Amino acid sequence: MGDLFQLSDLSLTYPNGTRALDGVDLSVAEGEFVSLLGPSGCGKSTILRLVAGLMEPTGGGLKWLRPVARGDIGFVFQEPTLMPWARIIDNVRLPLDLAGVPKGEGNDRAADGLTHVGLGDFQKAFPAELSGGMKMRASLARALVTNPRLLLLDEPFAALDEITRLKLNDDLLSLWEAQRFTALFVTHSVFESVYLSSRIAIIGPRPGRVAAEMSVPLPFPRDLSVRTGTDYGAICREVSDRLHAAMGVVA
Amino acid sequence: MNGVWARRLLPPLVGLLFLLGWETAVSAWDIPPFVLPPPSAVAQALWNDAPLLLQSSWITLTITVQAFLLALTSGVTLAVLFKQSRALEAALYPYAVILQVTPIVAIAPLVVIWVGYERVNLALLVLAWIVAFFPVLSNSTAGLAAVDPNLRDLFRLYGASRWQMLWRLQLPSALPYILAGAKISGGLALIGAVVAEFVAGSGTATGLAWRVIEAGNRLNMPRLFAALVLLSLLGILIFALLTWVQRLLLRRWHPGGGE
């Protein structure tokens, strides 16, 4: 499949002179699962925000090779970012409401999305009544309710406990395989990036740029057996070495 | 005795003991009623003067409620306008502060003269509104600014219009702040109505505050106390009602359930 978008020499310098990104080059093909892996503060979240159009780059460009309209990009934040005053179903329906989709149709689609993330029974609950993992599922359902072409995820599971995180990794992968969106996933976990991605871009420390790119030659669908396989360990080791090299530290 | 019962039972118990002590002290030391009437005399005044006092309560309550509603709508509206235009906020906010910090007692005679003694209730309304307005404005302004930045980005990502931003994001985010402001403002509206009546005090206004002044002038202490009791009750009523509304609107989603 062809590229969905290309970043070329993408740079961002803040008004105070801080250079957040310096010449990011990256192409993402349709249907890929690409992880941006790097240390905290390297600017990987900034790349997501630029792709989402929430910020403007100060240099270089972002080129879309497929038309993207409103609702073609979904965003999952580090926090669940749900409206605390609204029920889960209303939260998930929000992108459709904002686009003027009739409420009845919106409710059907939101309910459908909630079922896919295993929250079918919690439509009427308020966010405060759900656990952290459930809130993140709702956030995922909201990002997918518009059937986006591209899903941007900004360390979405970093604040969750290990068991919940592994479960959500698997759920995200099944959603990705079922719905065939393109995913750009920001993480600082080597293991998570290898398990999820078809390709990993390692971002060096600030000012951020792509220090290395590598494909993950593990077949999909992936499950627990992948995590315990020898290939997985070897790839993690290699990614880890390259990450350390990018950070200027000997592994 | 567990905590819940202590909280339910102790306040009325303390009140009852206090009234008993008061009644006993007045008769034991032979305190003249124009210095301190016994609670029984106050109760009697409440009963005997009920038509007069209830009519005055109604006047005070009407002015208070009108001033409160006016303060609520104008405060929230102005805060929303401020949110839409920084320039407007910069231009007007200082004057709202000036209006707030200038003692109401000092402005009152002026307002009464301008509005006119023949429309003294309108003057009272204006004064009570001035007192009640600021907490709503400042709390709403703070609330509208306290939007989760990620949620704001989410709305932007989905191309939300200004109206959708305001109606679906900023106002709900601000609701706990607005309600907290309203609670302060409700009490202040009553204080404003009373203070205004004291200052206007020509006998043209016949709310509870006037009954206090009048009874004081005539050394009719039981009636004075009866009017005070009714003023307290009005204050409690307003506070309880606003607390109830706050809890009703926030309990499902706001930490603390709107306490």
Q: Has residue A249 got a pLDDT over 80?
A: no
Q: Kindly report the CATH number that applies to the domain delimited by A1-68+149-188+203-251.
A: 3.40.50.300
Residue among A71, A84, A146 minimizing CB distance to B254: A84
pLDDT (0 to 100) of residue A251: 38
Give the model's confidence band at A77: pLDDT under 50 very low, under 70 low, under 90 confident, else very high.
very high
> Is A128's CB within 8 Å of B253's CB?
yes
Q: What is the mean pLDDT of residues A137-163?
A: 93
Residue of chain A with shortest Cα separation from B161 = A98
Distance, in Å, from the CA atom of A185 to the CA atom of A142, rounded to the nearest integer, reads 17
Distance, in Å, from the CA atom of B259 to the CA atom of B254, rounded to the nearest integer, reads 9
Phi, psi of A54 (to 5 degrees): -80, -15
Q: Which domains, from first to last, does chain B contain?
A: 47-250 (1.10.3720.10)
| Residue boundaries of the structural domains of chain A | 1-68+149-188+203-251, 81-148
- Which of B90-126 are b and which e, b meaning 16 or more Cβ less than 10 Å from the residue's Cβ? eeebeebeeeeeeebeebbeebbeebeeeebbebbbb
HSE of A215 in the Cβ direction (CA atoms, 13 Å)? Answer: 7
pLDDT (0 to 100) of residue A174: 92
How far is the first Cα of chain A from the last one, in angstroms, to the nearest whole number?
A: 36
Give the model's confidence band at A1: pLDDT under 50 very low, under 70 low, under 90 confident, else very high.
low
* pTM: predicted TM-score of the whole model, two decimal places: 0.86
A contacts of B147 (beta carbons < 8 Å) = none
Q: Which residues of A touch B (CB under 8 A)?
A: 49, 52-54, 70-71, 73, 75, 77, 79, 81, 83-86, 94-95, 97-99, 126-128, 146
The alpha-carbon gap from A199 to the nearest alpha carbon of chain B, in Å, equals 26
Which of A59-68, A241-250, B202-211 reaches the highest mean pLDDT? A59-68
User: Worst-scoring range by mean pLDDT, A233-247, B103-117, B229-243?
Assistant: B103-117
ipTM comes to: 0.91
Residues 6+ apart with CB under 8 A from B229: B42, B46
pLDDT (0 to 100) of residue A199: 95
Q: What is the mean pLDDT of residues B169-183?
A: 94
- Which of B220-245 are b and which e, b meaning 16 or more Cβ less than 10 Å from the residue's Cβ? bbbbbbbbebbbeebbeebeeebeee
Interface probe, candidates A68, A98, A135, chain B, greatest B C-beta count within 10 A: A98
User: Tokens representing B205?
Assistant: 């206004």
Distance, in Å, from the CA atom of A249 to the CA atom of B202, rounded to the nearest integer, reads 85
B24-68 residue pLDDT tens: 999 999 998 888 999 999 999 999 999 999 999 999 999 999 999
Task: Return the number of other C-beta atoms located less than 10 Å from residue B55's C-beta.
Answer: 14
Percent of chain B at pLDDT > 70 equals: 96
pLDDT (0 to 100) of residue B202: 60
- The set of long-range contacts for A131-137, using a CB threshold of 8 Å and a minimum separation of 24, is A131/A164, A132/A80, A132/A159, A132/A160, A132/A161, A132/A164, A133/A160, A133/A161, A133/A164, A133/A167, A133/A168, A135/A80, A135/A82, A136/A76, A136/A80, A136/A160, A136/A168, A137/A168, A137/A171
Top-confidence residue, B121 or A194: A194
DSSP for B232-245 reads: HHHHHHHHHHHHHH
pLDDT (0 to 100) of residue B5: 83
- Please give the order of strands across the beta sheet that includes A59-64: A19-29, A3-13, A59-64
Residue among B151, B157, B168 minimizing CB distance to A73: B157
Q: What is the maximum span of chain B, computed from C-alpha positions, in angstroms?
A: 77
Distance, in Å, from the CA atom of A66 to the CA atom of B100, rounded to the nearest integer, reads 57
Residue A166's Cα: distance from chain center in Å?
A: 15
Whole-angstrom CA distances from B6 to A42, B9, B15, B239 are 57, 5, 14, 22
Q: What is the mean pLDDT of residues B136-141?
A: 94
Distance, in Å, from the CA atom of A96 to the CA atom of A107, rounded to the nearest integer, reads 9
State the residue for tokens 């910090």: B101
Helix, strand, coil share (%) of chain B residues, nearest 5: 85, 0, 15
Strands A19-29 and A3-13: antiparallel
Let me know the angle formed at the C-alpha of B118 by B112 and B122, rounded to the nearest 5 degrees: 55
User: Worst-scoring range by mean pLDDT, A211-215, B116-120, B220-224, B240-244?
Assistant: B116-120
pLDDT (0 to 100) of residue B204: 65
A16-65 residue pLDDT tens: 988 889 889 999 999 999 999 988 878 889 999 999 999 999 988 899 98
Q: What torsion do the CA atoms of A30, A33, A39, A41 make, to the nearest 10 degrees? A: 40
Strands A33-37 and A59-64: unpaired
Strand partners, B65: none
* Chain A CB within 8 Å of residue B248 CB: no
Q: Has residue A250 got a pLDDT over 60?
A: no
Percent of chain A at pLDDT > 90 equals: 71
Mean of per-residue pLDDT scores for chain B: 90
Answer yes or no: are the C-beta atoms of B82 and B92 closer than 8 Å. Answer: yes
A199-214 residue pLDDT tens: 999 998 878 889 889 9
pLDDT (0 to 100) of residue A195: 93
Whole-angstrom CA distances from A20 to A87, B70, B231 are 37, 49, 62
Distance, in Å, from the CA atom of A51 to the CA atom of A45, rounded to the nearest integer, reads 10
Please report how the helices B120-145 and B50-84 are oriented relative to each other, as an axis angle in degrees rounded to 10. Answer: 40
User: Worst-scoring range by mean pLDDT, B104-113, B178-187, B243-252?
Assistant: B104-113
Helix, strand, coil share (%) of chain A residues, nearest 5: 40, 25, 35
Answer yes or no: are the C-beta atoms of A200 and A35 closer than 8 Å. Answer: yes
> Is A81's CB within 8 Å of B254's CB?
no
> Is A54's CB within 8 Å of B153's CB?
yes
Residues 6+ apart with CB under 8 A from B74: B129, B133, B136, B137
pLDDT (0 to 100) of residue A225: 85
